[in-house]
Amino acid sequence: MDIFKIVGIAIVGCVCTLLLKNTQSQYAMLSSLATGIIILIIALSSFSKVILSFQAIIDKTGVNSELFATLLKIIGIGYITEYSQSVCDDLECGSIGKKVSFAGKIAIFLLALPIIENLINTVTEIL
C-alpha cells in the first residue's frame, strides 16, 4: 500500500471539501464521501496480502483455521465499524455513528465468545 498516495488523495479531498463548503455546501459532503471511498478502495486492495500472511501462519503452525477466520472477521468488523462511524460523523449524524459503534462492539463480542469458551476449557483441562 502506498501511504503517500493515500495522504495525497486525502489532502486534495480535504481542500476540495473545504472549497465546496464555502460555495456549494451540498457538494461538500459528496466530496468528503467520495474521497473516503477512494481511500478505502486503495486500502482494501492491499488486504489480500494480509489474508495470504494469515494463511501462511496457519500452514506453518497447524493452528485451527477457524480461529484465524474468526479473528479476521473480528478485525474486519472493527475496521468497518470505525469507518462507518467516521462517515456518520462527517455527515453530522454522530448519534447514528455511536449506535453503529455499539452494534459493532456487540458483534465483536458475539464472535469472541467461542474463542473465550475455548480458552476457558483449555485452562481448566490444564489445571
Say what the pTM is: 0.71
For 108, residues 6+ apart whose C-beta sits below 8 A from its C-beta are 74, 77, 78
Per-residue pLDDT 10s for the chain (127 aa) are 688 898 999 999 989 988 898 888 888 888 988 998 899 888 888 877 878 887 888 888 777 778 888 888 999 899 999 989 988 888 788 899 899 999 999 999 999 998 888 889 888 888 7
Rounded to 10 degrees, the C-alpha dihedral 123/107/44/56 comes to: 20
pLDDT at 113: 92
> What is the distance between the alpha carbons of residues 31 and 37, in angstroms, rounded to a whole number?
10
Indicate the domain borders of the chain: 1-45, 47-127
